[in-house]
Amino acid sequence: MRKFLFVAILLSITFQFTSCKSEEKKKTEKKEVKTAPFSLETANNSIDFVAYKTTDKIPVKGKFKKINITKNGNGTTAKEAINNTEFAIPVSSLFTADVSRDFKLKKFFFGVMDNTSLLYGKLMLQTDSTGVATITMNAVTADLPFSYSIKDKEFTLSATMNLDNWNAQNAVDSLNLACRDLHKAADGISKTWSEVAINITTVFK
């Protein structure tokens, strides 16, 4: 009986020691997980665009409400976090504050493109104020030059996209046909421009 009690006590002590050691290991592992000082995953990212309609070139503003960082995006500085970041933007997150317009853009513009439920890109900073984004859209990958600035924890990017560089004229024509009357000016001509202004703002936490 005494021998049985001794073994039971020994097993209990061993279990407690092992359990404590396991808990200490978990706590140590948690402490070792560090977040980079600058991370696009936790930053506030805003992707705005301005398209144009009618021969008067009336601006139409919109945004993408979601961006997925697929590679890199972390660094000890804002510049390091931005450079070589790869991302994917769901077209479904498009928002222009007009439900009808959103529907038409998704169906008659992006919807007629080849394999474009997502817009893929990579940002590369070349100087302290300029860079190039490689954008994949409509099964075409092309460069988009941009200018940028970094002030404290805020990164801003500006670019002008010519949709012809992504063979998107068919998509432009499709959208213009769907919005024929809405894209007419006083001259009676319906026009949708191939030029789109892109503005990105990232505020790191």
pLDDT, tens digit, for every residue of 121-146?
999 999 999 999 999 999 999 999 99
Q: What is the pLDDT of residue 1?
A: 53
Distance CA 127, CA 88 (A): 24
Q: How far is CA 200 from CA 38, 65, 160, 183, 192, in A?
A: 17, 12, 12, 26, 23
The per-residue pLDDT string of the chain (205 residues; one tens digit each, 9 = 90 and over) reads: 554 444 444 445 454 545 544 454 455 444 444 578 999 999 999 999 999 999 999 999 999 999 999 999 999 999 999 999 999 999 999 999 999 999 999 999 999 999 999 999 999 999 999 999 999 999 999 999 999 999 999 999 999 999 999 999 999 999 999 999 999 999 999 999 999 999 999 999 9
Question: Do the Cβ atoms of 145 and 127 come closer than 8 Å?
Answer: no
- Roughly how many angstroms between the first and final C-alpha of the chain, as a whole number? 64
pLDDT tens-digit series, residues 171-181 = 999 999 999 99
Q: What is the pLDDT of residue 35?
A: 74
> Which among 147, 149, 174 has a CA at the least distance from the CA of 163?
174
Query: Token pair of 47, please?
Result: 């992707």
CA 165 to chain centre: 21
